[in-house]
Amino acid sequence: MSQPTNKPVPGRHGHPPAGYESPGVDVLGRASAGPLAGVVVADFSRVLAGPYATMLLADMGATVIKVEGPGGDDTRTYMPPVRDGEATFFLAVNRNKHSIALDLKNPEDLDVARSLVLSADVMIENFKPGNMARLGLDYAAAAELKPDIIYASITGFGTGAGAHIPGYDLLVQAASGMMSLTGDQDTQPYRAGIALFDVITGLHAAIGILGALHHKDRTGEGQLVELNLLTSALSGMVNQSAAYVTGGVVPARMGNEHPSMYPYAPMKTGDGTIIIATGNDAQFVRLCGALGIPGVASDPKFATTLQRNAHRNELRDILHARLATQSAAQWFRELSAAGLPCAPIQDVRGGVDFAEQLGLNPVVLAGDGPRKIPTVRHPVEYSRTPVDYSLAPPELNESSGLIREWLLHRKTLAHA
């Protein structure tokens, strides 16, 4: 693996005097030219959906103050795997943040939390419905403190009849129908290999917050931004949920095959398997030409997407017979050279290494000094306002002193 990359920017401890605020330098001293520089986020979320959203915002330059309970975010204990005794799960979604540990049942710590809300542009939380109201930190209370606050709230199944259901990704994978689509017809349903709907909800949360920030820029108004895992799941299932909602069809498990396109699946070769993805009729003609079976493309049974789906079993046998004459690696080289969509099937190490071979630089170092941690690159590149990775995922309560100093300075200014 090649060396991770990073931009040399000032780190957590090179901070300016308390209260110094300007675009490009956050309130705790992190320098950033990102598009969200100057935005302050009070992050009361934990585990995955919320922290993933706030990491994306932090990468873009926002000051993200992560509020953790005295024991820290649950994912600090999600081990193995570990890096130097720290859970890689936590490290995956918490770079570029400042940590403060607060016991929200303690009146003094609750006052600190309220001061954070008063000083923030955005607040995000994913507590069980009702918990924040009992603490006096729900949207109504936050908006009373800060009328223009953007308050993002993430639940598992909404705040109505599903409010009592815990918001675990696996429950949503099951309840949404997604697991019914994963696996072969003769196997049990399977979950995705990642917490898919936590990640999708995190993406939706980041989008919702950005939309609300734009509205605030135009009008000065804050607002409540509500998300739940189940709604995000149904949205993220796109064509499969639409099959039922729009077409009245209940999709079923098809293993690795696509319900609407063929060939669009793993295909057997002489020594292994390769993914071939044919998205339209023209690509199928080119595929048959590259495989040396051009007559197959002109056969009426295979000439259109609809016909290929109707005769996929017969077509599969024809393709496998031809693909069996060479190795997966050789077919990958030849089909790729012909501009046809195909890919090797690899493990995660292979995926990262492949991205490196393509020059995508997937691994970046978060942090400076002795605490530099390899992390996966932010997915967006900006030509004018680049993201940065100046802060490693924080140790628990690492920035408490700086945060309290900043809040005290703001309070002093407000009463001056």
Residues 184 and 47 grouped into a single domain: yes
Same domain, 59 and 203: yes
- Residues 6+ away with beta carbon under 8 Å from 182: 189, 190, 191, 192, 253
pLDDT band per the 50, 70, 90 thresholds, residue 244: very high
Q: Which domain holds residue 284?
A: 264-352
Tell me, yes or no, whether 402 and 281 share the same domain.
Answer: no
**Are 147 and 202 members of one domain?**
yes
- 61 and 189: one domain? yes
Residues involved in catalysis: 198
Overall domain count for the chain: 2
For residues 52 and 178, state if they share a domain: yes
Sign of CA dihedral 102, 106, 108, 113: positive
What is the Cα–Cα distance from 186 to 368, expressed in whole angstroms? 51
Q: What tens digit of pLDDT does each residue of 321-357 get?
A: 999 999 999 999 999 999 999 998 999 999 999 999 9
Q: Are 36 and 388 in contact (CB under 8 A)?
A: no
Residue 10 lies in a domain: no
Contact 49, 198 (CB under 8 A): yes
The string of pLDDT tens digits covering residues 137-191 is 999 999 999 999 999 999 999 999 999 999 999 999 999 999 999 988 888 999 9
Task: Return the pLDDT at 5.
Answer: 55
Q: Identify whether residues 313 and 372 lie together within a single domain.
A: no
Model confidence at 16: pLDDT above 50? no
If pLDDT is split at 50, 70 and 90, which confidence band does 3 have?
A: low
Q: What is the CATH number of the domain that holds 273?
A: 3.30.1540.10
- Helices (DSSP H) in 324-415: which residue ranges? 328-337, 348-357, 400-414
The pLDDT of residue 35 is above 80:
yes
Alpha-carbon span 377 to 386, nearest angstrom: 12
**284 and 399 both lie in a single domain:** no
pLDDT of residue 18: 43
